[in-house]
Chain A
């Protein structure tokens, strides 16, 4: 049904289109520019004289004989050992998503089905935990981790990221399970299932939409994390984001700057693809409950 509410005047449509295009340029252009620039040499991408150099690849042509080059990618992935960072990121992301969904679904299911008052206090506590700046937690980890000799390795970081992620996962899945009718598992209980069986055979088949959303946020947290990974991992085990920062950390010299540019593109591309694919779930997650990842 075409409602009158959705009919707009011509001026409004024109103004609107201009504004949206303007806004899209602001939010998308920096990424396109970086993507384009990653195939140029430094003299082009950081050119004081004329920004057109970055478009035409003037110095790139002089240095490599072609107007675009993969040199930054090849060097950073092999010489800069970005492949190792990619591997670490994959290990961490997959583990964090799996473990935090496993813990989160169990916990959130219990929270949504229990009628006792303590669930409320647990949720409030989770909200407080969710608000803690990660760096304050990291400052608490370092000393004990050094003493226990578990600093620098991947498993420690994985479990830390899982824990940091739990409050948000719990809240998200809690509000999701609240929308799953109680009668569903109650009837299973009456038929003689235990709580765990009811969860396994009745709830699990219908929980996937919520789980995908929660998984997406866990993935973004693990994939994007800088605070925890940069301080809890040693150089060898660095994931992508701290690795990129490490390329820049040293004094601005030659190729390394372009390495960072190439690696920024390498690290963002998969994330954008995932988000493009799961956009609907992402937006539904952002709007449920009272928290954000």
Chain B
């Protein structure tokens, strides 16, 4: 295809991606270099019958003028990245000096907003992915053996958790696990502890979120494994039966090796997708105990008084760097696939 034809075919799609995916990343970076304007203070004399007092107030009008002149705020360089809400270099330095043991040191660090969120995001990613792969594989194996007539409806039922949006999926579960929901209340009755709920400790909140993550992601692993199972060659399986291999041996030595590449694919996609976890945190109202990187950005943008573009931009940039780390193996894999194709 000549360059010119290619250009016109691809132009609309490319322009959309450039304008709304490429530019926003640059815009985010640009925002992260700025910080909100300072509020202008003025002294006001307040006189009443008891005499006069001077008070310091925000000069709303002057502040407004500055905001209009400089809507993005003032230039701040990379200082937002280093502040307490992001990489917190000073705080880490202090913590290092103050703390007497590693435990204490990490305690302090993981109470800083950014590191706390990073810790949760990574824990979530790496706690959800392995069970998803194992469960997805078992479900695929099981459904592969049932009769053709009930396969369709069974597959439909199995993929439901994946097709609803994470917010709705987590709400549906939350309403059951909540202290007043069917599961929550039953668990309280079993343990005879009226205060037991997913909010009673941050560990329980984390576990609930991770269980939700497994529930939501397993169907994807199942579907991919299920499709891959259809491509397992029959000849080696039959040969193995003749040689007297049990079903377990057949699965272990023929099916699993065949599915290795698929499993790595699922793992990478799962890690990448779970790195952006944030809707379940809202659904489960878990922001007190569990905050993810995406949630930090969301809360900056949802800030009551003024949108913290600078802070949100800085967290975005750091998140993108994190995604980059997770993405590298995927890119290398795709690269190799392309090279062998050509």
Interface residues of A (CB under 8 A from B): 3-6, 8-9, 12-13, 16-17, 19-20, 23-24, 26-28, 30-31, 33-34, 37, 45-49, 51, 54, 102-104, 106-107, 109-111, 113-116, 120, 122-129, 131-144, 146-147, 159-160, 162-164, 166-167, 170, 195-196, 199, 220, 223-227, 231, 241, 244-245, 248, 260-261, 264, 267-268, 271-272, 275-276, 279, 282-284, 286-287, 290-292
Contact = CB atoms under 8 A, between A and B. Distances in A.
B272 to A, nearest CB: 5
Given A120-B338, A275-B159, A136 B28 contact: yes
Interface string B1-38: 10101100110111011011111111110010000000
Interface string B248-284: 0000000000000000010001001101101100100
14 contacts: A9-B247, A107-B12, A122-B14, A131-B330, A134-B276, A139-B300, A140-B26, A163-B20, A224-B164, A224-B165, A264-B172, A275-B159, A279-B152, A284-B227
Contact of A283 (B155, B182, B237): B155
A134 B158 CA distance: 27
Given A5-B238, A134-B276, A241-B165, A31 B17 contact: no
A116 B3 contact: yes
Nearest to A45: B175
B95 interface: no
Nearest to A263: B168
A140 B168 contact: no
B207 interface: no
B27 A144 contact: yes
A149 B326 CA distance: 36
A97 to B, nearest CB: 14
Contacts of B178: 46
Contacts of A45: 175
A127 B334 contact: yes
Nearest to B158: A27
B163 interface: yes
Contact of A135 (B1, B278, B307): B278
A34 to B, nearest CB: 5
Contacts of B223: 283, 286-287
Contacts of A113: 1
B163 A126 contact: no
Given A166-B13, A283-B226, 10 more contacts: A5-B234, A51-B185, A54-B182, A129-B22, A139-B28, A139-B313, A143-B72, A166-B16, A226-B166, A292-B269
A279 B157 CA distance: 11
Contact of B12 (A106, A115, A129): A106
Contacts of A170: 13
A140 B25 contact: yes
B84 interface: no
Contacts of B22: 129
B72 A163 contact: no
A46 B238 contact: no
B224 A110 contact: no
A195 B142 contact: no
B318 to A, nearest CB: 10
A133 B154 contact: no
B119 interface: no
B220 interface: yes
Nearest to B327: A131
Nearest to A20: B142
A127 B331 contact: yes
B286 interface: no
A27 B215 contact: yes
B156 interface: yes
Nearest to B320: A136
A226 B279 contact: yes
A264 B167 CA distance: 10
A283 B334 CA distance: 21
A227 B21 contact: no
A124 B334 contact: yes
Nearest to A291: B269
B223 to A, nearest CB: 5
Given A5-B238, A137-B21, A226-B167, A20 B146 contact: yes
A27 B220 contact: no
Contact of B16 (A19, A109, A159): A159
